[in-house]
Structure 1
Amino acid sequence: MDVRSVGAGVLSVAYREYGPAGGWPCILGHGFPYDVEAYAEAAPLLAEAGARVIVPWLRGYGPTRFLKPDTPRSGEQAALGADLRALMDALGIERAVLGGYDWGGRAACVVAALWPERVTALVSGNSYNIQDIARAMEPAAPAAEAAYWYQYYFHSERGRRGLAQDRRGIARLLWRMWSPTWAFDEATFVRSAAAFDNPDFVDVVIHSYRHRYGLVPGDPAVADIEAALSRQPPIAVPAITIDGDADGVGGLTTHHAAMFTGPHEHRVFAGAGHNLPQERPADWARAVLNARKLAG
């Protein structure tokens, strides 16, 4: 495993690379509030199966940095998808198996939906992970609204200040709430928490959770991508979607099946919470390998 960086679009993207340089390409994305440690066990399993695995720190996390001070610190879905495509271009990867959950899964879904020619197969935690911002203000069931407390907190300046003052405290609480069966220790948390010290972390996170509700404008540079996503495009590439049945922030997503128009399987990891690849690394790696086979 090597830690490297490359200029890609508006970022200098830091990433871990596992496996042979000539292996079949696989890019895996982490979520909020996690980092590349989510794949510390799953990625070597895929490397052993012949994959060249790329695990980047997303914008606002770890050693990844914006190249210019005036680039908007956007956390919107279009920016995440554009970052992933730019990374593929920078590394000379024409097509890859893409996987992820939460923010990283959203980036993978964006690329799979809009640029399917770049995707061999998709593994997506929480299934169809593209936001329908036009309907974001429609009320959800009470239990779902309660689970989203942190999003509403981040809509306020009190929430911004709270995240800036105690980003690790908020992240630790969310880990426990979202993965109630995962007995992670403090050392495991600390390894990921270092990624939240990125100077752009707070700005990117706050923008993400405000933009998805239509409360703030997006980055004009990715407005065309956001417009395309507003049409809720289906995903036609071969896909395996996954839920954890103990996920404390999202329910089961079997109702998303109609959004996958190509070969598609849905799996439920029993006893798993939100951080699927770190809680179930062998099952996650198996899903990636099976998705590649699904693609023929």
Structure 2
Amino acid sequence: MAITRQVDAGVLATAHLEDGPADGWPVVLVHGFPYDVHAYDEVVPHLTAQGARVVRPYLRGHGPTRFRSATTMRSGQQAALGSDLLALVDALELDAPVVGGYDWGGLSSCVVAALWPERVAGLVSLASYDVIDVAAQRAPADPALEHALWYQHLFQTERGRAGLAAHRRELCRMLWRQWSPRWSFDDALFDRTAVAFDNPDFVDVVVHAYRHALGNADGDPVHDALEARLAGRPPITVPAVTLDGASDTLKPGGTADHAAMFTARHEHRVVDAGHALPYEAPAAFADAVLTVRSWIAEAGGDRTHHT
């Protein structure tokens, strides 16, 4: 049974769930927007059965996670998300975990793997090299993709901010349906996660994330140097399994063409799922993690023991 904990990690008091043995090989699974840690409820048993210690943090602006200072910018930019993940790895003294995620969780995991490869043993990422090219995002996309990204355009406006604040559950439920058109989830499953959207910083973090990603908001100056490094498109140099959901409306055509960004052992898989892949195909997500783990063991570089 998952144990809920909170730890001071960088600028956050990060709430997280832990499953499995305390001395197990560490895995950190990071959820996306608008989801929470329960996205991995059916993934975790596959991993703990193989001896994993699984950590599932609530992102900044989600659930019981809180900023430690009122003066910290409520940024949602990618460098902030990656820094949060690295700070959690440090705070829990995890020795080179496998990190994985989808949506914002894939973004934060890719940022850590790209910028601090010595700190992680491997990566599982939905949408492959999921690091935002902010400069490229300023240019218009294909109209069909722009249509799918309507929520990002809405959040560029104060009307959008107010709408998210007033109708967060309705808006987020709509995104779940649109991004995973073949997934039939019930009210109980959605409601269990939607509580996480009541975080007092949810709206500020989400709105800033998409305004920064589209080049319409400055980032936190604390992260300027990291954003500059990410703009250089650093490759991922740790073993990685990347995933696409075959019916993910946010990634039409998939991301197999990202393969050149992975310079270590790498495999790309297409799964019969939409955007919420860990919910929709938990065994496939778990198998990706276990594959990366097996590669590390085969290489004789089993760096994934807890300190």
> What TM-score do you get using the length of structure 1 for normalisation?
0.98
Is 1:247 aligned to residue 252 of structure 2? Answer: no
Uncovered stretches (5+) of structure 2, i.e. residues with no partner? 299-307
Residue in structure 2 matched with residue 127 of structure 1 by the alignment = 128
Q: Kindly state the Cα deviation for residue 6 of structure 1 after the two structures are TM-superposed.
A: 0.1
Q: Residues of 2 paired with 1:44 and 1:195: CA distance? A: 22
Return the letter of the residue paired with 2:230: L
Displacement of 1:11: 0.2
Q: Match of 2:44?
A: 43
Alignment of 1:70-89 (within 5 A): 70-89=71-90
Query: Which amino acid in structure 2 is aligned with residue 92 of structure 1?
Result: E
2:182 aligns with: 181
Q: How many angstroms apart in 2 are the aligned matches of 1:118 and 1:263?
A: 17
Match in the other structure for 1:29: 30
Question: What secondary structure does 1:193 align onto?
Answer: helix
Kept in 1, the 8 Å contact 2:47–2:286? The answer is yes
Say whether residues 1:292 and 2:302 are aligned partners.
no
Distance 2:284 2:136 in 1: 33
What is aligned with 1:143? Answer: 144
**Please, what is the CA RMSD of the aligned residues?**
0.7
In the comparison of the two structures, how many residue pairs are matched? 295
| CA shift digits 1:108-149 (9 cap, x unpaired) | 000100110111110000110100111111121111111110
Could you tell me how far apart the structure 2 residues matched to 1:94 and 1:289 are?
17
Segments of structure 1 that go 5 or more residues without pairing to the other structure are none
CA distance in 1, matches of 2:231, 2:249: 27
* SS of residue matched to 1:109: helix
* Contact 2:14/2:65, CA 8 A, preserved across alignment: yes
1:211 paired residue number: 212
Measure how far apart 1:74 and its partner are: 0.2
C-alpha separation between the residues in 1 aligned to 2:295 and 2:247?
27
Match of 1:264 among 263, 266, 269: 266
Q: Which amino acid aligns with 1:255?
A: D
How far is 1:294 from its partner? 2.2
Query: How many Å apart are 1:248 and its aligned residue?
Result: 1.7
- Tell me what 2:20 maps to: 19
2:9–2:90 Cα contact (<8 Å) kept: yes
The runs of 4+ residues in structure 1 deviating greater than 6 Å are none
Spell out, residue by residue over 1:177-213, the C-alpha distance to the aligned partner (whole angstroms, 9 max, x if none). 0001110000000000000000000000000000011
What residue in structure 2 maps to residue 220 of structure 1?
Answer: 221
Q: Provide the C-alpha distance between the structure 1 equivalents of 2:90 and 2:225, rounded to a whole number of angstroms.
A: 19
Q: What is aligned with 1:60?
A: 61
Distance apart, 1:227 and its partner CA: 1.0
Distance 1:34 1:82 in 2: 20
**For 1:140-190, what per-residue CA distance to the aligned partner results, in whole angstroms no more than 9, with x for missing partners?**
111111111000000011100100000000000000000011100000000
Deviations 1:26-85 (A, max 9, x none): 000000100001001101221111000000000000000000001000000000000000
Match in the other structure for 2:193: 192
CA distance in 1, matches of 2:226, 2:82: 8
Q: Which residue of 2 aligns with 1:105?
A: 106
> What is the DSSP-based 3-state SS (H/G/I as helix, E as strand, rest coil) of the residue aligned with 1:98?
strand
| 1:236 paired residue number | 237
Aligned letter for 1:220? P
| Residues 99 and 109 in structure 2, CA contact (< 8 A), matched pair in contact too | yes
Residues in 2 aligned to 1:140 and 1:262: alpha-carbon distance in whole angstroms: 30
Find the aligned partners of 1:91 and 1:210 in 2 and give their Cα distance: 31
Q: Which amino acid aligns with 1:41?
A: E
State the secondary structure of the residue aligned to 2:184: coil
TM-score by length of 2: 0.95
